[in-house]
Amino acid sequence: MSSTQPFLKGVVVLIPAFSLGRAQELLLILDEYWSNHPDLHNIPIYYASPLAKRCMAVYQTYINSMNERICNQFENSNAFDFKHISPLNSIENFNDVGPSVVMASLSGLQSGLSRQLFEMWFSDKKNACAIPGYVVQGMLAKTIINEPKEVTLMNGLTAPLNMQVHYISFSAHADFAQIRKWRKPLGGWLKRPQKLVKLLVVYCREIPKVVVESEEATKTEEENSKKAEKVVHALLVSLLGDGEVWRERETGDKCGWQCGAS
């Protein structure tokens, strides 16, 4: 299938995303893909986020803080000087004619330019919304992942949702599959959570710490240990369930679990 085929009927693709971090990485991927596919050059890409536009200068300036590939590319060109992507400041400046791809904030579609564009395009079955990663429960973006028959608009009315909705796991946070993969090699450790607590607390203590010279930031070693154990306790509850962790606390050795009781 030709890379232009999805756009032949005037399709528009909306990508609701955060203004920083994930957005810039997605823009890099899109710009590179467009560069490698000349048949897409007549299809514009926009990013509709005033904050992302203001911060783009930071990404363009601090190239030395990027990965090796981006740094090497800088010898020929700045990766953040996009060739096929333009900023979109407002709906009024948008010429909504023909196919296009628009990345817009806010990521949850609760308001902002992404919500305005969604309400322009949601009724056409040719259009699509690609949600690139985790969204918070209760947000419109979370709701439409399940492809409901209707959505509630900003004016309070409901209307049929006809556009296609695609979820792409593109996130800096570990999803269920990644957490399960991380948990599997632990094996017997998870049967004895109190021993895992000891291991993780010791590991955390050996991580280099940034010392902030202020009275408010000064913490004793005991207070830091208590904080670390509370964090580890919350982690184990999320992995094993609260009941299992409490049973281990009642039957296992002490190992500082009293710090996690509060």
Nearest to 100 by CA among 44, 25, 160: 44
Quick one: DSSP state of residue 73?
H
Block residue for tokens 């090699």: 185
CA angle (21 as vertex; 16, 25 as ends), nearest 5: 80
Q: Which residues contact 128 (CB under 8 A, 6 or more apart)?
A: 6, 11, 12, 13, 14, 163, 164, 165, 166
Distance CA 62, CA 152 (A): 42
Active site residues: 173
